[in-house]
Amino acid sequence: GGVGRTTALCLTARHFAKKGLKVLVLDMDLESPGLSSLLLSPAELPPLGIIDWFMEDGLGQASRDLLSEFVSSSSLASNWPGVIRVAPAFGKDETGYIPKLSRVYADLVQQENSKQEGFPERFFRMLRELEKAEKPDVVLLDSRAGMHDIAATLLVRLPDALRLLFAGHSPQTWTGYKHMFEHWRSFSSHLATFRDGLQVVDSMMPETGREEHRESFAAAAYSLFN
pLDDT digits (tens, 9 = 90+) for 59-118: 778 777 888 899 999 999 999 999 999 999 999 988 889 888 877 887 776 656 567 888
- % of the chain surpassing 90 pLDDT: 55
Q: How far apart are CA 130 and CA 153, in angstroms?
A: 17
Q: What is the pLDDT of residues 27-51, one digit of tens each?
A: 998 988 888 889 999 999 999 999 9
Predicted local confidence at residue 215, as pLDDT: 97
Answer with the residue of higher pLDDT: 204 or 18: 18
Question: Contact at 8 Å (CB) between 121 and 153?
Answer: no
Predicted local confidence at residue 109, as pLDDT: 65
> Helices in the chain by DSSP H: which ranges?
5-18, 35-39, 50-58, 64-67, 97-104, 119-134, 149-156, 171-185, 188-191, 210-225
- Mean of the pLDDT values across residues 157-164? 86
Mean pLDDT of the chain: 89
Q: What is the pTM of this model?
A: 0.89
Asked if pLDDT for residue 135 goes beyond 70, the answer is yes
- Mean of the pLDDT values across residues 130-135? 95
Q: How far apart are CA 16 and CA 140, in angstroms?
A: 11
Residue 134, CA distances (Å) to 39, 139, 158 in order:
18, 10, 19
Predicted local confidence at residue 114, as pLDDT: 63
CB count within 10 Å of CB 71 equals 20
Which sign, positive or negative, has the C-alpha torsion 212, 201, 175, 226?
negative
Predicted local confidence at residue 129, as pLDDT: 93
Predicted local confidence at residue 199, as pLDDT: 92
